[in-house]
């Protein structure tokens, strides 16, 4: 499975999650759907922006051209800007066309649409010299005049750093307000993003109204976000006393996925959604069947089953024969059963499989299954044989891919050293996607020497490929913290600093070394948006250090406020922190009941689900309320495992587990296990 395709939609969706921790300054603002019917131009402009968000420039261009043909000068300029920005398409437009578009835009600069058109001309130089500062100014003017396409585009652009150095940077709260105003002025994509980012509280009726309105006006995002909601996957980051969602409705989820498909959503993303719905349907059916069986037994007065003494010894050969019969029609239950059996009888399975894998006459299809079993058994003794398969198999074959994944499951320095050697030797010949794949494998291995090589991913375009930073450093986890601390204060490269802060905000590490690096950066940082991000991250970092950290947090915030602009977002955030009580979230203290047995059971349930928290909600509550500080390493491993899924949903589960980790560190009652 190629991550470049799977993540096409995730690149957009993860941007939503990066601002979900913003203070909701507009909770009391009443938001209502527009009552007027949208024009074809408005619908086309909104859908075009959605396709820009998910990097489908071809469909975006077609929709901008459609709107331009209907008479929109803004769409015309945006179409030309997109074409000029694509090296393969640049020669398809003439200088005369660009000059005419700029002339028309300039003639209409007294209107909101004309201002938006001029902004797009200046972004890449349509009939005029490129000037990002002027693009920013005209875009702000158009947005201030409540032109819906400008409001939505500007808010989205600001989520990725705006128009560049020296241009306006909005706070998260201002971005949220931009999407709200876009929605109120007739932008379906604005409605979808406002609903996703403001999702919270006990009443989400306004957000549901926004999503339904967006979906009804041909919004892919509106339909996709609704499908998530109806699959039981809230758009926010729920915690204790949390953000509510309507009851699960898989039929409705399926309808919205089909609607998104008709509107042009990538086929692979559609298939992923359908598979997830089918998985939820199976789980519901299985749970229903189990309940019925228990009810039947209770009614018949059956006694609980007992395990017989002297059970037959494990027959590894017979088990391997079962595995050899696997096919694409093998049920999920059978796969889980085989996986569990292999894990429980790891040494016997590994020894029996090694003999078969070493047989030179073994077919490649059989070798794939043998290697899969060795990955489940996780025996270090299997590594030399698997390394031989890895080195001799075709790099593009299924056998090579499965062997790579199995070696990652077993891990170890020998595997890490080989993977890093291959990365360094072949890096110059790799395209960007393959380079990312190879580094991600090293991050899955948590191979410490590779962290230095991962530094180059802090230099990528943060506006387009920030998700690569999240995947790589999220998988390296705490190993990456010292390097990120250093790069956070690398004054030679602003892009490196920005990406390092993005990775830190994603990881939310609780280390005191990170505290020092964040405080040092805060002392010299001038950008008001980055200062806001810093104080937000400092709060999470120091609250997770317990009472001592929470006290030091107050002292540092009091000190920073002495020199902070009193009207800045950072100042407001710090004042709100100082005004609040240092107590756990409402209901946390009463519900926290440390229980190692329940925690271990919940941990295993979530791990078996592939770290799909939405399909194991009871277990997710148990790991929150039953965990102690001793359990944090296991919680961090669950969090890393969420990223193995390589889909947009994994970011949701990663963020939720991050909050659980921080809550446990900050508020979980101390037990004897913690003191030992």
Residue 585 has a pLDDT of 59
- The CA distance from 622 to 590, in Å, is 14
Residues 166-179 as b or e (16 or more Cβ within 10 Å = b):
ebbbbbbbbbbbbb
**609: which 2 tokens?**
């689900």
Q: How buried is 227 (Cβ within 10 angstroms: 0-12 exposed, 13-18 middle, 19+ buried)?
A: buried
Tell me which of 43-52, 100-109, 237-246, 519-528 is least confident: 237-246
Residue 240 CA to chain centroid, in angstroms? 21
- The CA distance from 275 to 271, in Å, is 6
DSSP string, 430-453: --HHHHHHHHHHHHHHT-GGGHHH
Average pLDDT, the chain: 82
Residue 299 has a pLDDT of 63
pLDDT at residue 10 greater than cutoff 50: no
**372: which 2 tokens?**
């899969």
Residue 149 has a pLDDT of 94
- The CA distance from 354 to 374, in Å, is 8
Q: How confident is residue 658, by pLDDT bands cut at 50, 70 and 90? A: confident
**70: which 2 tokens?**
């209907």
Residue 439 has a pLDDT of 94
Q: How buried is 8 (Cβ within 10 angstroms: 0-12 exposed, 13-18 middle, 19+ buried)?
A: middle
Q: Determine contact, residues 233/199, Cβ cutoff 8 Å.
A: no
pLDDT at residue 131 greater than cutoff 60: yes
pLDDT at residue 270 greater than cutoff 90: no
Residue 88 has a pLDDT of 76
CA-based end-to-end distance of the chain: 44
- The CA distance from 37 to 54, in Å, is 26
Average pLDDT score over residue span 578-594: 70
Residue 588 has a pLDDT of 63
Secondary element (H or E) of residue 574:
helix 569-579
DSSP string, 112-150: HHHHHHHHHHHHHTSSS---HHHHHHHHHHHHHTT-HHH
How many helices (H) and strands (E) are present in the chain, helices listed first?
36, 0
Average pLDDT score over residue span 217-241: 73
Q: How confident is residue 660, by pLDDT bands cut at 50, 70 and 90? A: confident
Q: What's the Cα-to-Cα distance from 304 to each of 45, 300, 581, rounded to whole Å?
A: 63, 12, 50
- The CA distance from 175 to 139, in Å, is 14
Dihedral, CA of residue 56, residue 655, residue 206 and residue 49, to nearest 10: -10
pLDDT at residue 619 greater than cutoff 70: yes
Taken in order 445, 448, 450, 452, is the CA torsion positive or negative? positive
Residue 281 has a pLDDT of 83
Residue 153 CA to chain centroid, in angstroms? 21
Q: Determine contact, residues 48/60, Cβ cutoff 8 Å.
A: yes
Residue 559 has a pLDDT of 93
Residue 309 has a pLDDT of 44
Q: How confident is residue 246, by pLDDT bands cut at 50, 70 and 90? A: low
CB atoms within 10 A of CB 666: 22
pLDDT at residue 12 greater than cutoff 50: no
CATH class of the domain comprising 3-270:
mainly alpha
Percent helix, strand and coil across the chain, each to the nearest 5: 70, 0, 30
pLDDT at residue 332 greater than cutoff 80: no
pLDDT in tens, 481-533: 999 988 888 777 778 888 888 888 888 888 888 899 999 999 988 888 888 88
Look at 89 and 100; give whichever has higher pLDDT: 100
Q: Determine contact, residues 613/656, Cβ cutoff 8 Å.
A: yes
Domain with CATH 1.25.40 in the chain: 3-270
Tell me which of 109-113, 336-340, 489-493 is least confident: 489-493
Residue 556 has a pLDDT of 93
pLDDT in tens, 178-197: 999 999 999 999 999 898 88
- The CA distance from 348 to 318, in Å, is 12
- The CA distance from 511 to 286, in Å, is 42
CB atoms within 10 A of CB 382: 25
Residue 178 has a pLDDT of 92
Residue 20 has a pLDDT of 31
- The CA distance from 506 to 496, in Å, is 15
Average pLDDT score over residue span 94-116: 93
Q: How confident is residue 666, by pLDDT bands cut at 50, 70 and 90? A: confident
Q: Determine contact, residues 544/665, Cβ cutoff 8 Å.
A: yes
Average pLDDT score over residue span 398-426: 92
Q: Which residue has the tokens 């380079």?
A: 435
Residue 367 has a pLDDT of 92
297: number of CA atoms within 13 Å, CB side?
A: 10
- The CA distance from 516 to 250, in Å, is 47
Count how many residues are written for the chain.
676
- The CA distance from 647 to 654, in Å, is 11
pLDDT at residue 322 greater than cutoff 80: yes
Helix crossing, 648-667 with 617-625: angle to 10°? 30
**236: which 2 tokens?**
């926010």
**427: which 2 tokens?**
């890096």
């Amino acid at each position: 499975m190629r991550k470049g395709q799977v993540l096409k939609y995730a690149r957009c969706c993860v941007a939503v999650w990066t601002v979900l921790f913003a203070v909701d300054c507009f909770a009391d603002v009443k938001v209502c759907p527009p009552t007027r019917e949208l024009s074809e131009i408005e619908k086309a402009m909104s859908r075009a922006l959605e396709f820009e968000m998910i990097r489908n420039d071809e469909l975006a261009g077609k929709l901008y051209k459609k709107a331009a043909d209907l008479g929109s000068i803004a769409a015309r300029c945006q179409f030309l800007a997109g074409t000029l920005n694509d090296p393969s398409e640049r020669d398809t437009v003439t200088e005369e066309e660009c000059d005419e578009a700029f002339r028309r835009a300039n003639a209409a600069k007294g209107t909101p649409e004309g201002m938006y058109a001029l902004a797009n001309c200046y972004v890449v130089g349509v009939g005029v010299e490129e000037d990002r500062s002027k693009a920013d100014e005209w875009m702000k003017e158009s947005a201030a005049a409540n032109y819906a396409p400008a409001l939505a585009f500007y808010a989205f652009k600001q989520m990725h750093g705006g128009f560049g150095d020296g241009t306006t940077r909005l706070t998260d709260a201002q971005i949220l307000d931009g999407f709200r105003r876009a929605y109120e002025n007739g932008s379906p994509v604005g409605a979808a993003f406002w609903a996703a980012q403001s999702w919270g509280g006990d009443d989400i009726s306004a957000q549901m109204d926004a999503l339904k309105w967006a979906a009804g006006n041909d919004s892919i995002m509106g339909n996709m976000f609704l499908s998530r909601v109806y699959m039981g996957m809230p758009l926010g980051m729920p915690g204790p006393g949390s953000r509510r969602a309507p009851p699960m409705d898989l039929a409705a989820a399926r309808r919205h996925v089909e609607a998104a498909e008709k509107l042009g959503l990538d086929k692979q993303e559609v298939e992923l959604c359908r598979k997830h719905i089918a998985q939820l349907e199976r789980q519901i059916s299985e749970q229903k069947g189990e309940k019925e069986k228990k009810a039947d037994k209770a009614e018949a007065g059956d006694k609980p089953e007992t395990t017989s003494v002297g059970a037959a010894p494990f027959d590894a050969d017979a088990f391997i024969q079962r595995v050899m019969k696997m096919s694409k029609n093998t049920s999920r239950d059978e796969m889980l059963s085989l996986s569990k059996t292999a894990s429980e009888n790891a040494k016997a399975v590994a020894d029996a499989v090694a003999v078969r894998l070493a047989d030179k006459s073994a077919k490649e299809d059989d070798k794939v299954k043998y290697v899969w079993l060795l990955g489940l058994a996780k025996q270090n003794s299997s590594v030399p044989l698997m390394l031989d398969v890895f080195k001799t198999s075709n790099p593009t074959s299924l056998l090579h891919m499965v062997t790579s994944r199995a070696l990652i499951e077993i891990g170890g320095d020998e595997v890490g050293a080989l993977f890093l050697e291959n990365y360094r030797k072949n890096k110059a010949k790799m395209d960007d996607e393959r380079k990312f794949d190879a580094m991600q494998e090293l991050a899955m291995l948590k191979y410490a020497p590779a962290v230095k090589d991962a530094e180059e991913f802090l230099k990528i375009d943060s506006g387009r490929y920030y998700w690569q930073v999240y995947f790589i450093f999220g998988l390296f986890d705490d190993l990456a913290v010292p390097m990120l601390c250093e790069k956070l204060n690398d004054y030679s490269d602003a892009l490196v600093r920005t990406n390092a802060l993005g990775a830190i905000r994603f990881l939310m590490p609780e280390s005191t070394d990170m505290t020092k690096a964040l405080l040092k950066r805060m002392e010299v940082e001038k950008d008001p948006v980055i200062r806001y991000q810093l104080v937000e991250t400092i709060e999470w970092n120091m609250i997770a250090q317990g009472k001592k950290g929470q006290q030091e947090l107050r002292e540092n915030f009091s000190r920073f406020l002495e020199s902070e602009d009193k009207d800045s977002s950072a100042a407001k955030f710090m004042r709100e922190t100082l005004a609040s009580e240092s107590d756990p979230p409402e209901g946390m203290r009463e519900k926290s009941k440390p229980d190692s047995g329940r925690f271990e059971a919940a941990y295993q349930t979530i791990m078996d689900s592939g770290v799909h928290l939405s399909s194991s909600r009871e277990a997710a509550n148990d790991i929150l309320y039953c965990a102690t500080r001793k359990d944090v390493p296991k919680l961090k491993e669950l969090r890393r495992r969420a990223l193995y899924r390589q889909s947009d949903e994994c970011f949701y589960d990663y963020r939720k587990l991050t909050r659980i980790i921080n809550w446990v560190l900050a508020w979980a009652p101390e037990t004897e296990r913690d003191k030992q």
